[in-house]
Structure 1
Amino acid sequence: MMHIMLTANAAWNILNFRKPLVQGLLSDGHHLTVLAPPDHSVGALEQLGCKFLPLSMDAKGLNPFSGPALARQMRAVFRQERPDVILGFTIKNNIFGSRAAGDIPFIPNVTGLGTAFLSGGILRFVAENLYRRAFARHEVVFFQNEEDRGLFLSHHLVRSDQARLLPGSGIDLEYFAPMPPAENGDAPVFLMIARLLRDKGVLEFVDAARAVHTRLPTARFQLLGELGASNRSAIHTTTLAEWQQEGVIEYLGVAPDVRPVIAAADCVVLPSYREGAPRTLIEAGAMARPVIATDVPGCRSVVAAEITGLLCPPRDAQGLEAALLRFLAMPPERRVAMGRAGRARMEDLYDQSIVVEAYRAAIAKVQMLPGAHRNTSQNREANFS
C-alpha cells in the first residue's frame, strides 16, 4: 500500500469536495495525509483516517512573488513525509506543489481557472506561464470540464496525452437522494449556494431578485455560503447587511449539510462567471431540483439546457431575471420533469465511483513509470507513527 498526500488551499476543500476519493483510497488500504491550511474540517478528516499537516499560505489571488516561499515550504514537507504520490487541487497548490514535488509523482486536478484567467491581461499571461512550466513533466492532469481542457490544450499548457477529463468531484447519489418537489405555493424559493464572491454572480443574483420582487413580492431569494472569503472579489459584510435590510435576500450563513436547504427550494441558481464542475448544480440535480445557471464553461457541462434547467447569459442581471420569470411561468409538471431529468443525468454522468476509479488508474500509471519515487514500508510506517 502507498502513502498518498492530498494538498489544497483549505482543509474544507478536501472534506467537502474530495471525501468520496478519500474514502475510496482509504478503503484500498492506503495511508493518506492532507496538507492544507487548517480550519474546522481538520477533525472530520482525522476521523476519516487521514493524517493532517498544516500549510501556511494565502489563498487570495495568484501572486507569483509569494510562490517561491510556498514552494519551499511544500518541498520541506514532501522531503520529510516522502509520499509515494501527491494529488493536487486548487491553483496555488497545483502550480507550486508541482515545482516542489521533485521526483515524487504529482497529479494535479484543474478544478477551475480562478480570478487570474477571468481578469485577462498580464495576470492571465503570468498564470499561463506558471501552468506551462509546472505541468510539463506530469503524466496525468485532470480537468473537470471539456472547455477548460480544450483551453489548456489550445494554449499549449498541457499535452493531449496528459489531459484527462473527470465528471467534477463526483456525487454520492445515495446521500444526495431525490426529493419530492417543495410545496412553497405563491412564495417560490430560489436558492444560490456559493462563496459570496462577485465572480460567482452574487451581484447579478441580487439585482435579478430585486427586479423579480417588483412582479412577485412573495418570491424568496436565499444565499447560502461563506462570507468574508479570502478573495479579491469577496462581497463586503456591510453590503450583505444592506441587502438583508432591504429584504431582497435571505442570508442563511453556512451549513454542514446542504440537503435540507436544497430540499426546501424550488430552484437552485448559480450565475457564476466560470466554473470547473459546479458542485452546487450537481447536488441540486442529484436531489431532483431544476436549476438556472449561466451559459459558461463548467455550468453548461452540468446543465442540459431546457431539459434539466435553464441557461442565461453571464454577467447579465436582466438575462437572469428573464430566466427566473420563465421558471415562474412554467407549469408544475414541467418543473418536476426538469428535476427528474437532472437526477437521471447525475446518475449517468456524475457518480462518484467514476472519479475514484479514474484516480486509481492514474495512481497506478504514475507508479509504474521508470524512476518513480518509491517509499519503503519502513519509512512509511515511521511517518505515520
Structure 2
Amino acid sequence: MNQIAQKVLIACDSSKSLMDFRGKLVEAIARQHQVHVYTPRVSDPQFLEKLRSMQVEIHENELDGGTVSVFSDLRYITRLYKLMKTIKPDVFFPYTFKPVIYGTLLAKVCRIKSIIPMLTGLGYNFTSTSQKKLVSNITRRLLRFSLMQSKRLKIIFHNKDDYQTLLQQGILTAKHQAFIVNGSGVDLDHYTYAEPDTQNISFLMIARLINAKGIREYYEAAKNISSRFRGIKFKLIGAYGNNVDTISDELYASICSGDVIDYLGEVNDVRPYIQDASVIVLPSYREGMPRSLLEGMAMGRAIITSDAIGCRETVDTDSAVNGFMVPVKNVPELISSMEFYLHNRQAIRTYGISGLAFARKKFDVHMINAEMLKIMQLN
C-alpha cells in the first residue's frame, strides 16, 4: 500500500547544516511527501537549486541560532506561527535548540498532529563547566516547558546520554516518547576511502571556533608537538563568528597567526582536506554525534576524540581499534595520543580501515534515514 502524501515542515537554525547534515533525509522525505523548510537565508545558489529540484518549498528567516537577541527571536516566532497557520503541516520536524524550543511550542498551539523535535546535542548549555550560566539556565527552563509530554510529541536524540541527562534534570519523564538514532549518519558514497599519508603526517580538526569544541586544547597540543617534532602539520577548519561560546580574541589571534596551526576558515567541501590529513582530531567537551569524525572515518582516517558524551560513540571498543579517547580538557593525554601516531605510523592506516568498517556497520546514512522515516511514520 502506498504511503499517503503528507505535508512536512522542517525548521533549522542553519541553511548549511540543512544540506550538509540532513540533505539525504530531506531527499528521502521529498520522494513521497510535500516538504517545506523554514531556514535562515540561503546564500549558496547550488543549495537552492538542489532544494528546488526536489520540489522543496523554501521559507527564509533571519535567525542567528548562536546569539541571544529577544527581538530577533520574536520575529522568528511570529513568522513561524504564521507559516504553520498557512501551510497546516501534518508533521513538524525541528532540530537544534531555538527551532526545537520555539517550534515545538507553536506546533502544540497550532495543533499539528505529529511533532518530532530532534536534539542533535545538548552542547555547552549542559556542560558542567559552562560559563554562560544565565543563558544555560534559561535554555533548560524553556526546553522543559516546550517539551512537556504530549501524545503528539516524539523526541529524537543522537545518543543515549543526552536522553538520560534530560531525564535526570526533570526536563523529560519516562512517559515521553523518546528515540535514539546514531546521529545524522554519513553518506559512504560521497565520503569515500582514500589512502592516508603516513610519511608527511598532518592532523586536522573540523569544528566551529567555540570553547566547547576543544579549540584551545587542540592549539596547545599542536604547539607542544610542533616544538619537538619537525614537519608535522596541524590544520583547522571551521566558522568563526557570533556565538555566546566563541573562543577569546587572544586565542583567535594566535590561531590566525599561522605559527602553530594552519587555519582555513569555513569550506564548502571538507573531503579534499580530509584526504590530505593523516588523523582527524576533535577534543570536544560534549557532542550529539560528531559529524567531522564520521566523515573522517568514512574516508579511512584514524581519529582522536574525547571521552565525552557523543564523542565516545565514534570509537569502537568492541572489536578493532580505530582511535583514541582522551579525558575532556586533558592536553597531556591529547599530546600523548598524537605522539602515538608519530611513533606508530602504520597504525594510521590500520586504525583508519577499522574506522571505515565501523562507519559502515553503525553510521550509514541510508540505514539511519530509514529509521528516522519509521519514527516519523513517513515510510
Please report the RMSD computed on the Cα atoms of aligned residues, expressed in angstroms. Answer: 2.3
Is the Cα contact below 8 Å between 2:40 and 2:61 reproduced in 1? yes
Is the Cα contact below 8 Å between 1:272 and 1:293 reproduced in 2? yes
Question: Displacement of 1:55 after TM fit?
Answer: 1.9
> Letter of the aligned partner of 1:358 in structure 2?
E
2:298 is matched with which residue?
Answer: 286
Matches within 5 A, 1:16-35: 16-27=20-31, 29-35=32-38
1:380 is matched with which residue?
Answer: none
Is the Cα contact below 8 Å between 1:21 and 1:355 reproduced in 2? no
Question: Displacement of 1:266 after TM fit?
Answer: 0.5
Change (3 A) 1:345 1:319: same
Question: Displacement of 1:238 after TM fit?
Answer: 7.0
Is the Cα contact below 8 Å between 2:119 and 2:155 reproduced in 1? yes
1:92 is matched with which residue?
Answer: 98
Aligned mates of 1:290, 1:95 — CA distance in 2 = 36
Question: Displacement of 1:92 after TM fit?
Answer: 0.6
Aligned mates of 1:273, 1:267 — CA distance in 2 = 19
CA deviation map 1:189-239 (0-9, x unaligned)? 0000111112111111111100001111311000111122x3122246775
1:200 is matched with which residue?
Answer: 213
Question: Displacement of 1:3 after TM fit?
Answer: 1.4
Question: Displacement of 1:45 after TM fit?
Answer: 2.8
Aligned mates of 2:71, 2:273 — CA distance in 1 = 41
Aligned mates of 2:343, 2:281 — CA distance in 1 = 16
Aligned mates of 1:225, 1:124 — CA distance in 2 = 23
TM-score (norm 2): 0.88
Change (3 A) 1:158 1:341: same
- Structure 2: give runs of 5+ residues left out of the alignment: none
* 2:313 alignment partner, SS class: helix
Of 299, 303, 314, the match for 2:328: 314
Aligned mates of 2:22, 2:330 — CA distance in 1 = 32
* 2:42 alignment partner, SS class: coil
> Letter of the aligned partner of 2:292 in structure 1?
T
1:140 is matched with which residue?
Answer: 154
2:228 is matched with which residue?
Answer: 215
> Letter of the aligned partner of 2:214 in structure 1?
G
Aligned mates of 1:246, 1:168 — CA distance in 2 = 33
Change (3 A) 1:289 1:107: same
Is the Cα contact below 8 Å between 1:11 and 1:34 reproduced in 2? no
Matches within 5 A, 1:165-314: 165-183=180-198, 185=199, 187-228=200-241, 230-235=242-247, 239-304=251-316, 307-314=321-328
2:42 is matched with which residue?
Answer: 39
Q: Give the aligned length.
A: 361
Matches within 5 A, 1:76-91: 76-91=82-97
* 1:311 alignment partner, SS class: strand
Question: Displacement of 1:80 after TM fit?
Answer: 1.4
Is the Cα contact below 8 Å between 2:63 and 2:73 reproduced in 1? no
1:363 is matched with which residue?
Answer: 376
Question: Displacement of 1:335 after TM fit?
Answer: 2.2
Aligned mates of 1:62, 1:348 — CA distance in 2 = 39
1:113 is matched with which residue?
Answer: 122
Aligned mates of 1:357, 1:251 — CA distance in 2 = 37
CA deviation map 1:51-108 (0-9, x unaligned)? 1101232312467887555433311111112111111111010011011113112211
* 2:367 alignment partner, SS class: helix
Aligned mates of 1:62, 1:314 — CA distance in 2 = 27
Aligned mates of 1:46, 1:208 — CA distance in 2 = 44
Question: Displacement of 1:169 after TM fit?
Answer: 0.4
Is the Cα contact below 8 Å between 1:223 and 1:251 reproduced in 2? yes
> Letter of the aligned partner of 2:39 in structure 1?
A
Matches within 5 A, 1:43-62: 43=48, 44-61=50-67
Change (3 A) 1:275 1:190: same
Question: Displacement of 1:278 after TM fit?
Answer: 0.5
Change (3 A) 1:114 1:63: farther
Is the Cα contact below 8 Å between 2:216 and 2:251 reproduced in 1? no
Change (3 A) 1:125 1:234: closer
TM-score (norm 1): 0.87
Deviation larger for 356-365 or 144-153: 356-365
- Structure 1: give runs of 5+ residues left out of the alignment: 368-385
Is the Cα contact below 8 Å between 1:62 and 1:127 reproduced in 2? no
